[in-house]
Amino acid sequence: MTQPIIHTIVEDGIMVLTLNRPDRLNAFTLFMMHEMIAALDKADADDNVRVVIVTGAGRGFCAGVDLDDPDAFTAAKPDPKATDPEIWDDPRNRDMGGVLALRIFSCLKPVIAAVNGPAVGIGMTMQLPMDIRIASTKARFGFVFARRGIVPEAASSWFLPRLVGMSQALEWCYSGRVFDAEEALAGGLVRSVHAPEDVLPEARRIAREIADNTAPVSIALTRQMMWRMAGAAHPMEAHRIDSRGIAARSTLADAAEGVASFLEKRPPVFPDTVSCDMPGFYPWWDEPDWPMPQGSGARA
């Protein structure tokens, strides 16, 4: 391999993560999954990173899984008629898109998708746990799984209906057709559509507004509160976490700085950091588990 499969650069608090297989329209591979997860691990551990932007090199965002890989869908080859749950829970069955989606879901930094071109299959579903999606007029989207004889992956059956509603989610997945950025906008899949040369600058503008004006610990907690409460059974669960968050954050230096900077009409300089100042009740959930496979074929 002559060039990195992803490229990352951090400037002024913003990490830009670029999928870097332009000759293959950034088709997704197991190695790309590992590299993206490693980059997100670095972003979470680095207090200088406030926002992550994900985009693609060349004319595509991600054309889906690389179908030249014989294990593109799963490393295991179970008997499709098997009834033993242990067969289906074999770690080798883990969908690599889902492993990535769950890592994005657990991220402590906001993640923005700057969709510069075609995004189908995993190229589309990896965006769903990202927080904001903006698209080029040249972007194309597709939940093409039924046309390939498989089913939606990357936990998209959880994410997609929550983002666009059940009816829209089912229409796109039932048809498997590729659609343009304007339809994605109308369906609530993307925030906005821009000329190709304006997509990354707009993503940076959004990231800059977050990085320059908000408290990192508040953002990390807000991200997890919003995503995890999307599956809560009752609003009392949200009220309980809100109350803990308000009680914890109001006693720390960030709250004093937030009030002082507002009264003094100046930009805030928040002192608390994600690496040191997350409240003691975090995390408040028990993470479901699926054992990881061992050896070189691990799907992380």
Q: Which residues pair with 192 in a beta bridge?
A: 134
Whether 222 and 203 map to the same domain: the answer is no
Number of domains the chain is built from = 2
pLDDT, mean of residues 81-99: 87
Q: What is the mean pLDDT of residues 281-290?
A: 92
Say which CATH number the domain at 10 has: 3.90.226.10
Same domain, 73 and 195: yes
pLDDT at 74: 63
Each residue of 106-132: pLDDT tens digit? 999 999 999 999 999 999 999 999 999
Residues 134-146 have a mean pLDDT of 98
CA-closest candidate to residue 249, choices 277, 286, 211, 269: 277
- Other Cβ atoms closer than 10 A to 212: 12
Q: Measured between alpha carbons, how far is 20 from 56 in angstroms, rounded to an integer?
A: 6
One domain for residues 47 and 89: yes
Residues 132 and 240 in one domain: no
Asked whether residue 166 is domain-assigned, the answer is yes
Task: Output the pLDDT for position 76.
Answer: 67
List, edge to edge, every strand of the sheet that includes 6-11: 6-11, 14-19, 51-56, 111-115, 132-136, 192-194
Q: How confident is the model at residue 297 (pLDDT cuts 50, 70, 90)?
A: very low
Is 198 among the domain residues?
yes
pLDDT in tens, 222-281: 999 999 999 999 999 999 999 999 999 999 999 999 999 999 999 999 999 999 999 999
Shared domain for 128 and 149, answered yes or no, is yes
Q: Are residues 237 and 149 in the same domain?
A: no
Using one digit for the tens of pLDDT, what is the confidence trace for 174-189? 999 999 999 999 999 9
Q: Cα(88)–Cα(70) distance, rounded to whole angstroms?
A: 19
Q: For residue 260, what is the domain's CATH number?
A: 1.10.12.10
- Which residues form the domain of 249? 215-277
Residue 185 maps to a domain: yes
In this structure, are 205 and 237 located in the same domain? no
Q: Given pLDDT bands bounded at 50, 70 and 90, which one contains residue 79?
A: confident
Answer whether residue 215 shows pLDDT above 70.
yes
pLDDT digits (tens, 9 = 90+) for 153-176: 999 999 999 999 999 999 999 999
**What is the pTM for the complete model shown?**
0.93
Residues 157 and 223 in one domain: no
Share of the chain above pLDDT 70, in %: 94
Q: Is 204 in the same domain as 147?
A: yes
Percent of the chain past pLDDT 90, that is, above it, reads 85
Q: How far is it between the farthest Cα atoms of the chain?
A: 68
Three-state secondary-structure class, residue 133: strand
282 domain residue, yes or no: no
For residues 240 and 120, state if they share a domain: no
Averaged confidence pLDDT in the chain:
93
Q: Which helix (H) or strand (E) holds 16?
A: strand 14-19
Together in a domain, 249 and 169 = no
For residue 1, being part of any structural domain is answered with no
Q: How far is CA 156 from each of CA 14, 72, 133, 193, rounded to the nearest angstrom?
A: 27, 17, 15, 22
In this prediction, residue 271 carries a pLDDT of 98
